Structure 1
Amino acid sequence: MIIGIDVWTQKVRELEAASMQDDFWNDAANAQKSLQARTGGSGAHGQVVTDVQELSDAKAKLSMNEKMSDLDGELVKEAETNIAGLEEDLERWELSQLLSGPFDHRGCLLSIQAGAGGTDAMDWAEMLLRMYTKWAEKKGYKNQLVDHMPGEEAATKSATIEIDAPYAYGYLRGEKGAHRLVRISPFNAQAKRQTSFAGIDVMPLLDEDVTMEIDPKDLEITTMR
């Protein structure tokens, strides 16, 4: 469905007005969902309004450049700056459209498990833990280590980090699976090449009130005496 920016503006205002009602928090679960919808809608709406203004400014500057003698080309340079900003915004919007799965907009739990490779595998798991943590920090995502099991000798045997930010699951769900590292082992006295493995699992953060339906046909029930 395509709606005009005026209609969108009205819908955003209605969401904001609803959140100001005295009985808004009577239903905490629905209130939280409304706030999330308002935050997401307001953010996207504000960006579109800004982009429309940027495009209008660029058109005005190019039109003025045609009507007057702009020897230094300053108006054209300013218009190019406006358009460059629009291109960056469009790239971000296209990415958000690619992350359109049912849970892509949610935060996630990312678990790391050292696999085959002994101490090298645990060191590899530690490197992955630092990499994903630094990635989240660089993007400004709220993250915390919720579980960590150190290795017998060094590094990390297993760990889980929670990344509570929009689209974190969409960005990271492709990381699920086995990750391999081949290198000259710093833990091998003979400096032999070592292949190490670590498993990554990524799960979306779900609302507490989400109801999961399990088809009885998908159940396998075993009884023992």
Structure 2
Amino acid sequence: MAAPTSPAAASARASAFRSRTGRLALSAAHPADGRGDNATTYKELGLFSWKRRIEDAVIRVEVTASSALEWEEAQRIKHEEVLQSRNLWDNPAKSHETLSALSDAIRAVDHLKDLLYKAEESKLISQLAGMDVINGELFKQAYEVSLDASEFLDRYQMCKLLKGPYDKEGACIIVTAESESVASELWAEKLFGMYASWARRQGCKGGLVEKIVSTSGHIQFAAMEIESEYMFGTLYGEKGVHRMIYSSVDNSGTDKAVSARVDIIPLFLDSPVNLHLEDDDLEISPSPSGCENRSQRNGATVRIQHMPSGVDAQSSGERSYFANKLKAMSRLKAKLLIVARELRVADAKKVEKQAVEEKCNRETRIYTFGPQESVHDLNTGIQLSDLNSVLEGDIEPFIRGRYFQDRDE
């Protein structure tokens, strides 16, 4: 933990920080704990609450980030020594793995150093609360930095728990209405919006977004590619059937339910999926000959099914038939790899259709609308009452719950 800073040094460094921000200080004269004649004003500004949260975040950064930095530095040195002692061309695959690990360690070291520096600045600003000057804008900035620091540490710690073979990859989120009813399509649209909101909150690097709508104008199928690392491992627990329960509009007292299926498949960022499939095992629709002219071929939705397993994939977001065919094939192979891993089948091409159907029909979450709104995650057992917040993208409690559940197991 950093050594205590003298008031004079704190004041000098904070003054330099204020000059960089170009903000004017707000004069005040009240103690840091909120006692005294100006305690009411202090609390009205929210500075006392902010100060406590800043201090909590700083303590966490000093304890957690410091030890993490030491570990990442050790990993960086180890990977550099391995590369120096090895001819990269002797084993290109192993060398690529080591280079990737070295890059991760260097990036983590840079982020953690920056985090510690920002935490120190926030700490200095917080110390000004006990002096003769309090800058509301500076406090707000320090508070926002503390929130960012906590979120970064949450992500860092969770990523360290992701040990699966594909967890580091990006992710493709696919939402499909379970029936052709308008209610099911509207529910699929709502779910897709939930994941889009979550991705925006995370600042994820977005890729292709595609939607297939029904004749009623609502979503039957929607896919979104997120190219950021560790997205597959982060979102893997979201796959499955998501059921919505709502009250009947005819006031009969009965509840109705509609469902949508969510698939999470890895988006391989560095290399294509290494899986060979026999042409005789595939059904492609429409076939190239089925597109009568060029205008129909451009942008046509392509669906490919692996007939032995029943697993299928489709693509509609590319500009040409053949580009959509390649995308659909890549998604199909990724799906088969994940299904084989889940079913513990050594050869993805030997996955059985019945086992796949049982796996795909497994419920993940139940969303209940009505007087007693709730969201019940069946994987973790977590139940939340703030349904609107979840549908606006606040699914972090479920994601974290799965992390720690897997760790405990």
Same fold, TM exceeding 0.5?
yes
Pair 101,163 (structure 1): closer, same or farther in 2 beyond 3 Å: same
Alignment of 1:36-55 (within 5 A): 36-50=100-114
Alignment of 1:9-88 (within 5 A): 10=77, 36-50=100-114, 72=131
CA drift of 1:120 comes to 0.2
Alpha-carbon distance in structure 2 between the residues aligned to 1:87 and 1:148 = 35
**One-letter identity of the residue aligned with 1:47:** H
**One-letter identity of the residue aligned with 1:200:** V
CA drift of 1:177 comes to 0.8
Q: Which of the residues 193, 210, 221 maps onto 2:274? A: 210
Aligned sequence identity (%): 24
Q: Which of the residues 149, 164, 168 maps onto 1:101? A: 164
Pair 149,209 (structure 1): closer, same or farther in 2 beyond 3 Å: closer
Please report the TM-score for the alignment, with normalisation by the length of structure 1: 0.61
CA drift of 1:99 comes to 2.8
Alpha-carbon distance in structure 2 between the residues aligned to 1:104 and 1:49 = 25
Match of 1:68 in 2: none
Worse-matched range after superposition: 172-181 or 204-213: 204-213
Pair 131,220 (structure 1): closer, same or farther in 2 beyond 3 Å: closer
Matched, 1:148 2:188: no
CA drift of 1:52 comes to 5.9
Worse-matched range after superposition: 5-14 or 170-179: 5-14
CA drift of 1:156 comes to 0.7
Residue deviations 1:50-107, cap 9 Å, x none?
456678x69xx8xxx9xxxxx7499xxx9xx79x687655433322223332222211
CA drift of 1:139 comes to 1.5
Corresponding residue pairs, total: 194
Match of 2:241 in 1: 178
Aligned 8 A contact 1:8 1:45 in 2: no
**One-letter identity of the residue aligned with 2:191:** L
**One-letter identity of the residue aligned with 1:49:** K
Match of 1:159 in 2: 222
Match of 2:191 in 1: 128
Aligned 8 A contact 1:123 1:154 in 2: no
Q: Which of the residues 321, 333, 350 maps onto 1:219? A: 350
**One-letter identity of the residue aligned with 1:198:** A
Residue deviations 1:98-137, cap 9 Å, x none?
3332222211111111114711000001111122122212
DSSP 3-state at the match of 1:128? helix
**One-letter identity of the residue aligned with 2:229:** P
Please report the TM-score for the alignment, with normalisation by the length of structure 2: 0.37
Q: Which of the residues 251, 259, 262 maps onto 1:197? A: 259
How large is the Cα RMSD of the aligned pairs?
Answer: 4.6
The structure showing larger relative contact order (alpha-carbon pairs under 8 Å, at least 6 residues apart) is 1
Alpha-carbon distance in structure 2 between the residues aligned to 1:89 and 1:107 = 18
Alpha-carbon distance in structure 2 between the residues aligned to 1:34 and 1:220 = 32
Aligned 8 A contact 1:12 1:42 in 2: no
Pair 42,210 (structure 1): closer, same or farther in 2 beyond 3 Å: farther
Pair 4,144 (structure 1): closer, same or farther in 2 beyond 3 Å: closer
In structure 2, runs of 5+ residues without a counterpart are 1-67, 85-91, 134-138, 276-336, 353-409
Pair 127,53 (structure 1): closer, same or farther in 2 beyond 3 Å: closer
DSSP 3-state at the match of 1:108? strand
Worse-matched range after superposition: 193-202 or 210-219: 210-219
Match of 2:178 in 1: 115
Matched, 1:91 2:154: yes
Pair 130,209 (structure 1): closer, same or farther in 2 beyond 3 Å: closer
CA drift of 1:45 comes to 1.3
Alpha-carbon distance in structure 1 between the residues aligned to 2:170 and 2:184 = 27
